Structure 1
Amino acid sequence: MSQVNMIAVLLLLMVAVLPAIAESQCKVSEFRVQRNFDIARFQGRWFIHKKFTQSPLLQDSFTNREHIYTKGAGEDLAALSFGRCHDGSCQFEHGKLKQPSPTGSNAAKLGYQPSSPSDPVLKYWVIDTDYESYALIYGCNQIKQSTGKCMKAYSWILERTRQSSLSQEIRRRINRKINGLCLKPNDFEVVSQTGERCRQCDPSTWTVQPNFDLDRYLGLWHEMVFKPRVVFPRELAFNDYLNVYTILPNGTIAVRIVRSDPALDDKCFITDDRQTWERTDEPGKFIFFDSPDRTVFTGDDYFVIETDYTGISFVLGCVKEPDTPDGECVRIRGSVWSRKPYFTSTEFIRLKVLFDQYCLDEQEYYITTHNKICPREPNGKEQVEVCVLYDKPDVCLRGL
């Protein structure tokens, strides 16, 4: 065989073999994800700067797209996704990033579970990230069984900052990773991050904990910080403040309050089941009354914005006044609760994100100190006075 013929044969073989090689390289099962993935470091706020999708489920025209991931007591991350629609309105969606394999080589292969448990879990693989500036996310809705190749892929380039600031070196690295996913960097669309961000400053945009479970929420919570209904000197704020929630036979949620009073030598007091919550049609939204007969204050909103039930609870409410139109929010009150009398570093990061998302000024919040344990029953070992609400307004109403 002549040299020319041999070259021709080799070229024919290459033409036949290269597609097979390309097919094998595009097997989703062989795509590499972030090594030694740390889900706690991944939490926080991410801005979507570029996107690619072949999936009709994920087609959208949102601008100012953001994801907020916060870690609770378990391995999963609570997820809040939102962006601005073409008509200028903002859309918010709650979900959860589930981690089937917390350790090992598949730790970065997450799954996104929408707020409705009946919706399918979407693949959410962290292909590459440095946690501090960028992350490349990949998923696939449909895999061709005969080849293992993805037929409906989607991918996002996330950044920690709203204005893209990645170095050329990082951009080249991301492009190499995209090529390794059998995608093309030029096929990614830019997601605009100009204009006003979608934050939930207005109470009408507040969303509560998805699938709120009252039974899991009952029990003891320590107040950690709070924004009072009426401003008063911080040095008069109660210490060691905690609430115990129980359900009365009529279905109302009763609140037992335990605290110590710095104005009275840190003496402990119990307000026994005087405050109440009334349920609304939406789980997680309650009407808060400071007296069982509703004679003191009108009912304020009490919304459990976010909770993991075993760690912390982030609560907001609207103050209502008798002389204002029905439903009008006069001012915002808020509080953060913990199952223990302290925050973990992970919880602290989570709260920073929430304060920003809901446009809250940390300086307006009072800190509740926890230095002692007050008995939770009137017959406790320490001398405890049961505070009968409104008989001693100087003691009972302070800080409400």
Structure 2
Amino acid sequence: MDYFRFVFLMVLASFIEDSLATSCAVDQFRVKNGFDYKRYTGKWYAVAKKDPEGLFLQDNIWAEYFVDDEGTMTALSKGRVKLFGFWVICADMTAQYNIPDPHIPGKMEMAYRGLARYLSSGGDHYWVIDTDYDSYAVTYACRRLKDDGTCDDGYAIIFSRNPLGLPPNIQRIVRQKQEEICLAGQFEPVLQSGACP
């Protein structure tokens, strides 16, 4: 009888562990609760990134966010990109953000345009997974979903207010958020050498 009780408890524990595990379905990802886009304004420096498919900014990435009198958030960003496999330039991008559901302001839609004619224009989701507004922000975008609801092509950027990076206590928070969006171990550091002021 003890053997069957043991097996039952092991199966139950496995079921509970599976149900509590982080879901990688994109619609299950939580964003910053009560996101305040006015506090988010100002300059942010990318310190780590997970690239999508295709052309993407390489390093020296920064973004500066603004909110106008009508409450519209826009951003100017810059970063180095390699074109044609050899030509490295600092590329400018502009973006405007729309909040489709005012109850979830951390889930935005971003319309962007590359000022260099080589960079694409389009739209992506722009989700602020977490931020403290003063030191770090974890952002996420999924460009294409798989049939099971997980992301087939997406990207994420870890931003810091300081181009030198994040303190150890904040790095722990960021690692936890990377796990929550199923991207742990997929980020690479972003060089900030001042090449794109």
* Cα offset, 1:109, TM superposition: 0.7
- What number of residue pairs does the alignment pair up? 188
Q: Report the Cα distance in structure 2 between the residues aligned to 1:167 and 1:99, rounded to whole angstroms.
A: 31
TM-score between both structures, scaled by the size of structure 1: 0.42
Task: Please give the per-residue CA displacement for 1:364-392, whole angstroms capped at 9, x wherever unaligned.
Answer: xxxxxxxxxxxxxxxxxxxxxxxxxxxxx
- What amino acid is the match of 2:146? K
- Listed as ranges, the matches of 1:302-341 within 5 Å are none
Q: Tell me what 1:150 maps to.
A: 151
Is the counterpart of residue 29 in structure 1 residue 30 in structure 2? no
Q: Tell me what 1:262 maps to.
A: none
Larger radius of gyration: 1
* Cα offset, 1:113, TM superposition: 0.5
Check whether the contact 1:108–1:125 (CA below 8 A) recurs between aligned residues.
yes
* 1:51/1:62 CA distance change after superposition, 3 Å: same
Task: Please give the per-residue CA displacement for 1:130-188, whole angstroms capped at 9, x wherever unaligned.
Answer: 1111101011122234x332232321100111111x2222111111122111221x321
Q: Report the Cα distance in structure 1 between the residues aligned to 2:8 and 2:127, rounded to whole angstroms.
A: 42
Q: Tell me what 1:71 maps to.
A: 67
Q: Report the Cα distance in structure 2 between the residues aligned to 1:23 and 1:51, rounded to whole angstroms.
A: 24
Check whether the contact 1:35–1:108 (CA below 8 A) recurs between aligned residues.
yes
* Cα offset, 1:18, TM superposition: 7.3
Q: Report the Cα distance in structure 1 between the residues aligned to 2:17 and 2:169, rounded to whole angstroms.
A: 31
Q: Tell me what 1:62 maps to.
A: 58
Check whether the contact 1:75–1:99 (CA below 8 A) recurs between aligned residues.
no
Percent pairwise identity: 29
Q: Tell me what 1:191 maps to.
A: 190
Q: Tell me what 1:125 maps to.
A: 127
Q: Tell me what 1:141 maps to.
A: 143
Q: Tell me what 1:181 maps to.
A: 181
TM-score between both structures, scaled by the size of structure 2: 0.80
- What amino acid is the match of 2:27? S
Q: Report the Cα distance in structure 1 between the residues aligned to 2:16 and 2:99, rounded to whole angstroms.
A: 36
Q: RMSD in angstroms over aligned alpha carbons?
A: 2.8
Check whether the contact 1:52–1:155 (CA below 8 A) recurs between aligned residues.
yes
Aligned partner of 2:77 among 70, 77, 81:
81
Check whether the contact 1:75–1:98 (CA below 8 A) recurs between aligned residues.
no
Q: Point out where structure 2 has 5 or more consecutive residues left out of the alignment.
A: 115-119
* 1:18/1:189 CA distance change after superposition, 3 Å: farther
* Cα offset, 1:119, TM superposition: 4.8
Q: Tell me what 2:117 maps to.
A: none
The higher-RCO structure (CA 8 Å, 6+ apart) is: 2
* 1:14/1:119 CA distance change after superposition, 3 Å: farther
- What amino acid is the match of 1:135? A
- Flag the structure with higher strand content: 2
Q: Point out where structure 1 has 5 or more consecutive residues left out of the alignment.
A: 200-400
Q: Report the Cα distance in structure 2 between the residues aligned to 1:36 and 1:177, rounded to whole angstroms.
A: 17
